[in-house]
Amino acid sequence: MSVAACGSGGSGSAGSDGADGSGGGDGSITMGFSQVGAESGWRTANTKSVQESAKAAGITLKFSDAQQKQENQIKAIRSFVQQRVDVIAFSPVVESGWDTVLKEAQNAKIPVILTDRAVDSKDTTLYKTFLGSDFIEEGKKAGQWLVEEYKDTTETVNIVELQGTTGSAPANDRKAGFAEVIGAEPKFKIIASQTGDFTRAKGKEVMEAFLKSNPDIDVLYAHNDDMGLGAIEAIEGAGKTPGQDIKIITVDAVKDGMQALADGKINFIVECSPLLGPQLMDLAKKVVKGEQVPARVVTEETTFTQEQAKQVLSTRQY
């Protein structure tokens, strides 16, 4: 799924946006939240949603920006455990390597909620629920549009792919879902696939390299809008017209991406909503009370064509 750091805390430190201490005694709730970082417009909107929703719900938020480093998230979670927060929520930068620190939280009887991204732990008792998008489905939606767009084409369709952060759930799943759909038709060929780390700058850099080594590119599939927007700069710099010479599919539907879609520079966007804050606070209140919650809460999302983007652009919140 797509960040500037709105919250306090760098290098994995657990910054506080409210009063110290565990809130159990007086009925108030303190949440420790470890954010991936600030890699894209999506993440900025996600951070804002969490912070504003915590304030609206009367939940004290201790916010930490991991700067896209797992070691910083692990430090932050350990800090939250030491501070005896009531609940921990985090968006894991990668899927693997969480069991030890999550066990520490479990031993301290602090419930954990995964937001936006999943972990691959076999022990699902280490967290109460996972709130976020179905990334595989997002990849499938991207692939389905491509299949429909080229249904009358018999020639080979050369695709380049800008992957998200290596090892992250959205990168793994968006790649898998897309590959599953297009794999049924041999004419679709992914001729290059490389991480752009979900950032605009890296998206531009990798797309420049793609263009130099692969002169015949028909389609770009970018795992988020920001990498796609960076790639547009590279495509224009190479004297080509994005959206025409190279069709572009992205994921997220942040405002800058939607503007590029409305302008015809992107051809199709699969939505991934960052506005998870209200649902997260609702889940936090329930798990702190010891109530049962679903193991998986999927956010509802849609897709956008150029005409649809034009219709909704003025009302986008992010």
Same fold, 15-133+274-300 and 135-272: yes
Q: What burial letters (b/e) apply to 55-89, b meaning 16+ CB within 10 Å?
A: eebebbbbbbbbbbebebbbbbbbbbbebbbbbbb
- Token pair 């429909």 is found at 148
**Residues 29-44: pLDDT tens digits?**
999 999 999 988 899 9
Q: What is the pLDDT of residue 7?
A: 26
pLDDT score at 42: 92
Domain boundaries, the chain: 15-133+274-300, 135-272
pLDDT band at 146 (very low <50, low <70, confident <90, very high): very high
What CATH number belongs to 135-272?
3.40.50.2300
pLDDT digit string (tens) for 245-262? 999 999 999 999 999 999
Say if residue 234's pLDDT is above 60: yes
- 105/118 Cα distance (integer angstroms): 17
172-199: per-residue pLDDT in tens? 999 999 999 999 999 999 999 999 999 9
pLDDT, tens only, 64-104: 999 999 999 999 999 999 999 999 999 999 999 999 999 99
- As a whole number, mean pLDDT of residues 288-300 equals 95
Mean pLDDT value across residues 116-142: 96
pLDDT for position 26: 58
Spatial distance between the Cα atoms of 47 and 274, rounded to a whole number of angstroms: 8
Topology given in CATH for the domain delimited by 15-133+274-300: Rossmann fold (3.40.50)
